[in-house]
Amino acid sequence: MVSRMSPITHCGAIILAAGKSARIGLPKQLLRFAGKTLLQHTIDAAKGANVQAILLVLGANKELIISQTDLKGIHVIENQDWQTGMASSIVSGISALEDVDPLADGALLMVCDQPFVTSALLNELIAAQQKSRKPFAASKYDDILGVPALFHKSIFDELIGLKGDHGARKIIERYGENVAFVDFPEGSIDIDTMSEYEKLK
C-alpha cells in the first residue's frame, strides 16, 4: 500500500555538519574543492533550491567553521551532543526547524561532504515528492536510497526518535515502496578519508 501525503510546498533544508571528521584529522567541512569549501558548496546548493529556510547544524570545530563560511541567511544550530552520532544532529535540526519555520511541511536533509550536490538535484527531489505524494523523496546511488532526501512533516516524529549513529537511511529503508527517488550516481562520492579527498582533487 503506497501512502499518499500532501505535496510538500514549504520545506526547510537542514545541513548536517556537526561531526569531528576523525578519520581525516581536520574539519572536512573546510576542505576546498573547485574554489570553495565542501560546506560552502552544500550551502550554496541549498540557497539555489526552492526551500524557505536553511539550517546548518554544527558541533565540533563550530567557531572555526563559522569564521570561514558565508552564513548570510543561514540559521546556525548548535548540537551539543554531536559526539553521540548522526542522529543527534538530525534531532537538533528537525526540532529547530519547527521553531524557525512553523509552516514547514517538509525537511530536506543534507550532509556537507557530497561535493556534487546541486540546486537542480534538490529541486528534483521536491518535484518528485510533489508528483508522487509519497512520504519521502531520496537520492539513489550504488543501489541504495540516501541523502539528500526530503521528508514529509508526518515523518518528523520518527526522525526525532533516532538515536546514536543511525541516520535517516534507517527510516527510508523501512518504508520500501513509499519512497520516491531521483537518480544521483555522484552521490556515492563523499569524503571520509584523506585518500578520498585526494582522488576528488
Spell out the domain ranges in the chain: 11-20+27-200
What is the residue type of 1? Answer: M
| Percent above pLDDT 90 for the chain | 70
Helix (H) or strand (E) holding 65: helix 62-67
How much is the pLDDT for 2? 54
Q: How does pLDDT run across 3-45, given as a tens digit for each residue?
A: 688 999 999 999 999 988 777 777 899 999 899 999 999 999 9
For residue 151, the 8-state DSSP code is E
Reply yes or no on whether the pLDDT at 1 is more than 50: no
Q: Which residues of 23-46 are buried (b: 16+ CB within 10 A; e: fewer)?
A: ebeebbbbbebeeebbbbbbbebb
**Radius of gyration for the chain, computed over Cα atoms and rounded to the nearest angstrom:** 16
Q: State which fold the 11-20+27-200 domain adopts.
A: Spore Coat Polysaccharide Biosynthesis Protein SpsA; Chain A (3.90.550)
Q: What is the pTM of this model?
A: 0.94
Half-sphere exposure of residue 164, counting CA atoms within 13 Å on the CB side?
3
pLDDT digits (tens, 9 = 90+) for 82-130: 999 889 999 999 999 999 999 999 999 999 999 999 999 999 999 999 9
Average pLDDT over residues 138-166: 91
